[in-house]
Amino acid sequence: MTAVVLTDIADLDLALDRATAAARALRTISDADRAGYLDAVAEALDAAVDELVPIAQRETHLTEARLTGEVARTTGQLRLLAAAVREGSYLEAVIDHAAPAAAPPRPDLRRVLIPLGPVVNFAASNFPFAFSVAGGDTAAALAAGCPVIVKAHSGHRDLSRRTADIVADALAAAGAPDGTFALAEGREVATALVAHPAIKAGSFTGSVAGGRALFDIAVRRPDPIPFYGELGSANPVVVTAAADAARASEIATGLAASFTLGAGQFCTKPGLVFVPEGSVIAEHARTAIEGAAPARLLTDGIGRAFVDGWSALASTAGIEVLTVATAESEGVTPGLARVTLDTFRSTPALHEELFGPVTLLIEYADPAVLIAALAELEGSLTATLHAADGEDVTALVEVLSERAGRVLFGGWPTGVAVTWSQNHGGPWPATTSLFTSVGVTGIRRFQRPVAFQDAPDTLLPPALREDNPLGIPRRVDGALVQGADR
Amino acid sequence: MTAVVLTDIADLDLALDRATAAARALRTISDADRAGYLDAVAEALDAAVDELVPIAQRETHLTEARLTGEVARTTGQLRLLAAAVREGSYLEAVIDHAAPAAAPPRPDLRRVLIPLGPVVNFAASNFPFAFSVAGGDTAAALAAGCPVIVKAHSGHRDLSRRTADIVADALAAAGAPDGTFALAEGREVATALVAHPAIKAGSFTGSVAGGRALFDIAVRRPDPIPFYGELGSANPVVVTAAADAARASEIATGLAASFTLGAGQFCTKPGLVFVPEGSVIAEHARTAIEGAAPARLLTDGIGRAFVDGWSALASTAGIEVLTVATAESEGVTPGLARVTLDTFRSTPALHEELFGPVTLLIEYADPAVLIAALAELEGSLTATLHAADGEDVTALVEVLSERAGRVLFGGWPTGVAVTWSQNHGGPWPATTSLFTSVGVTGIRRFQRPVAFQDAPDTLLPPALREDNPLGIPRRVDGALVQGADR
pLDDT by position in tens, chain A (length 486): 789 999 999 999 999 999 999 999 999 999 999 999 999 999 999 999 999 999 999 999 999 999 999 999 999 999 999 999 999 999 999 999 999 998 889 999 999 999 999 999 999 999 999 999 999 999 999 999 999 999 999 999 999 999 999 999 999 999 999 999 999 999 999 999 999 999 999 999 999 999 999 999 999 999 999 999 999 999 999 999 999 999 999 999 999 999 999 999 999 999 999 999 999 999 999 999 998 889 999 988 898 899 999 999 999 999 999 998 887 778 899 999 999 999 999 999 999 999 999 999 999 999 999 999 999 999 999 999 999 999 999 999 999 999 999 999 999 999 999 999 999 999 999 998 899 999 999 999 999 999 999 999 999 999 999 999 999 999 999 999 999 865
| Nearest chain B residue (CA) to A456 | B409
CA distance B50 to chain A (A): 20
Three-state DSSP at B475 gives strand
For the stretch B229-268, pLDDT in tens is 999 999 999 999 999 999 999 999 999 999 999 999 999 9
Cα separation values, B17 from A372, A428, B11, B120, B198, Å: 14, 20, 10, 14, 8
Q: Which of A412, A409, A399, A365 is nearest to A241 (CA)?
A: A365
Interval B7-46: pLDDT, tens: 999 999 999 999 999 999 999 999 999 999 999 999 999 9
The pLDDT value given to residue B330: 80
Please report residues of B whose CB lies closer than 8 A to that of A401.
114, 450, 452
Report domain extents, chain A.
Answer: 5-231+434-481, 236-409
Superfamily per CATH, domain A236-409: Aldehyde Dehydrogenase; Chain A, domain 2 (3.40.309.10)
State the pLDDT at residue A324: 84
pLDDT digits (tens, 9 = 90+) for A198-227: 999 999 999 999 999 999 999 999 999 999
The three state secondary structure string of A86-131 is HHCHHHCCEEECCECCCCCCECCEEEEEEECCCEEEECCCCCCCCC
* Vertex A271: Cα angle to A246 and A213 (nearest 5): 155
Protein fold of B5-231+434-481: Aldehyde Dehydrogenase; Chain A, domain 1 (3.40.605)
Mean pLDDT of all residues in B50-68: 96
pLDDT confidence of residue B275? 98
Distance, in Å, from the CA atom of A167 to the CA atom of A45, rounded to the nearest integer, reads 8
Whether A478 and B420 lie within 8 Å, measured CB to CB: yes
Q: What tens digit of pLDDT does each residue of B178-213 get? A: 999 999 999 999 999 999 999 999 999 999 999 999
Separation in Å, CA of A216 to nearest CA in chain B: 8
B428 confidence band (pLDDT: 50, 70, 90)? very high
Beta carbons of B422 and A478 less than 8 angstroms apart: no
Q: How high is the pLDDT of residue A291?
A: 85
HEC readout, B391-421: CCCHHHHHHHHHHEEEEEECCCCCCCCCCCC
Q: What is the pLDDT of residue A331?
A: 87
Q: Which residues of A touch B219 (CB under 8 A)?
A: 215-216, 219, 224
The alpha carbon of residue A357 is apart from the nearest alpha carbon of chain B, in Å, by 23
Closest partner residue to A480 among B448, B451, B473, by Cβ? B473
Give the percent of chain A with pLDDT over 90. Answer: 92
How confident is the model at residue A485, as a pLDDT? 65
For the annotated catalytic residues of B, the residue numbers are 230, 267
- The per-residue pLDDT for B485 is 65
Summarised one tens digit per residue, pLDDT across range A116-142 is 999 999 999 999 999 999 999 999 999
CA distance A305 to A264: 13
Chain B interface mutation, best of A110, A352, A453, A474, highest count of B Cβ atoms under 10 Å: A453
Q: What is the mean pLDDT of chain B?
A: 96
Q: What is the pLDDT of residues A72-101, one digit of tens each?
A: 999 999 999 999 999 999 999 999 999 999
Confidence of residue B411 (pLDDT cuts 50, 70, 90): very high
Q: What is the pTM of this model?
A: 0.97
Q: How do residues B115-168 score in pLDDT, each as one tens digit?
A: 999 999 999 999 999 999 999 999 999 999 999 999 999 999 999 999 999 999
Q: pLDDT band at B292, cuts 50/70/90?
A: confident
What does the DSSP 8-state code read for residue B381? E
Instruction: Flag whether pLDDT at B312 surpasses 60.
Output: yes
Distance of CA A226 to the CA centre of its chain: 15
Give the integer Cα–Cα distance in Å for A204 and A81: 19
All residues of chain A having their beta carbon less than 8 Å from the beta carbon of residue B114 are 401
Q: Name the helix (H) or strand (E) containing B12.
A: helix B12-27
Q: Which residues of A are catalytic?
A: 230, 267
Query: What pLDDT shows up at residue A170?
Result: 98
Task: Pick the residue of A17, A237, A421, A480 with the most B CBs within 10 A to test the interface with B by mutation.
Answer: A421
Rg, C-alpha atoms of chain B: 24
Which pLDDT score, from 0 to 100, does residue B412 have? Answer: 97
